[in-house]
A and B are shown apart, each in its own frame.
Chain A
Amino acid sequence: MQADAQSLAAEPVDARTQETLHRTARPYMHPYLAGFGLGLVLLAAFVIMGRGLGASGAFSSLVAVGADAIAPAHARANAFYAEYLGDGTVNPLMDWLVFEVLGVFVGGFLSGVLAGRVRTGVERGPLISKGMRLFYAFVGGGLMGIGAKLARGCTSGQALTGGAMLNVGSWAFMMCVFAGAYATAYFIRRQWQ
């Protein structure tokens, strides 16, 4: 009974039907179970590597390498990029987070395939066009990139890792993420509802 959600999203559907479709088409793992599994992965990182998880750092390395390829002098003079480029003895892409993020792609794909959830498309609410949604995705991503670098991490690194380690900055960060998100949710509810 796999509903073709993509074609249905093209026309406005009432809220209750949308929710029913949502439920039957995707049987997710119980949140506590998934959270427990995630927690064990994080714990494994602590015990094996003495560090936590992360995501944004990998993209910083990517950007730094790109900057170095396009304008090496500028990149090395910039304190931010230089931090990810290092002193040249190690390839910046041979980085723990880069490999970890590659694993995230693979793991997500694996789980999606096993659950029949791999499908091309654009996730959006029924009241918004694909174009607008992609625009918002780009802008949101941009904000995320800036916010993550300011805060030295994103939800994976700061909230999960720092949260488990009772890091002061991470908890402050986490609360601000929720605050900022809830505050903005009302204003762009058209995108999702």
Chain B
Amino acid sequence: MKRIFENLRPTHKAGVLVGILGFIATFAGSPYQGSQFTIDAQELARVVEATTDHVNPEELADWIIQGKTDFRLIDLRTAQEYGEYHIPGAENTGLTALPDAGLQKTEKIVLYSEGGIHSAQAWFLLKAKGYLAVYMLFGGLGGWKDEVLFPALADNPTPAQTVRFGRMKEVSKFFGGAPRTGASGPAQTPSYTLPKVEIPQSVEASSARAPKKKKEGC
């Protein structure tokens, strides 16, 4: 057998090699093994503890105001809730539709839901699939309302808190909200109406902007 192989012309040898490689491939199993992300429970726990999996509403507000486009904001609630109000620039994708939402594994993804439960579940889902840069909005939409839309000053504020509140007052106006005033401060449950979805025009428009330049494909 070996002598027959040695006597073959080089092209025929190559052909046999190709055939063998192909044959082995049949039984080799899935080539997607390189992309199976093993859930390292310890690692994930560490990330959670260090809160590096979170993004604060303040930070997110800054990104939006600065017009940053290097991240994707995902609203995990129902379409109706999304229609009533959503953080400007957010895309509405339910939990089940998440894997097919066309998210790149290497792009920055920020998830939010009403509170924190759904976004936490979605976070695990995406991390398990090997998405590298997934973050949850700390406090969800509730946190967004409390800190960005309707910021309030604590009863006995530290100087730092006062400065921060001053800044958040402007930020809240940008998003169509209003700082909470009144003697009872944050303890009072404010009665407010959520700002309309169309604000701020520039941000909304820029997220529904011209399509990002076609990067892949032929």
Contact = CB atoms under 8 A, between A and B. Distances in A.
* Direct touching of A and B (C-beta under 8 Å): yes
Interface of A: 32, 51-57, 76, 82-90, 92, 95-97, 148, 152-154, 156-158, 161
A57 B211 CA distance: 16
| Chain B interface residue bracket vs A | 10 to 19
A92 B213 CA distance: 7
A88 B211 CA distance: 10
B218 interface: yes
Contact of B217 (A76, A153, A156): A153
Contacts of A97: 218
A85 B210 contact: yes
A90 B212 CA distance: 9
Contacts of A54: 217-218
Contacts of B210: 76, 82, 85-88
Nearest to B206: A87
Nearest to A56: B218
Nearest to A94: B213
Contacts of A152: 217-218
A161 B218 CA distance: 9
A51 B216 contact: yes
A89 B210 CA distance: 11
Given A32-B11, A32-B14, A82-B211, A89 B69 contact: yes
Contacts of B2: none
Contacts of B218: 52-57, 97, 148, 152-154, 156-158, 161
A87 B217 contact: no
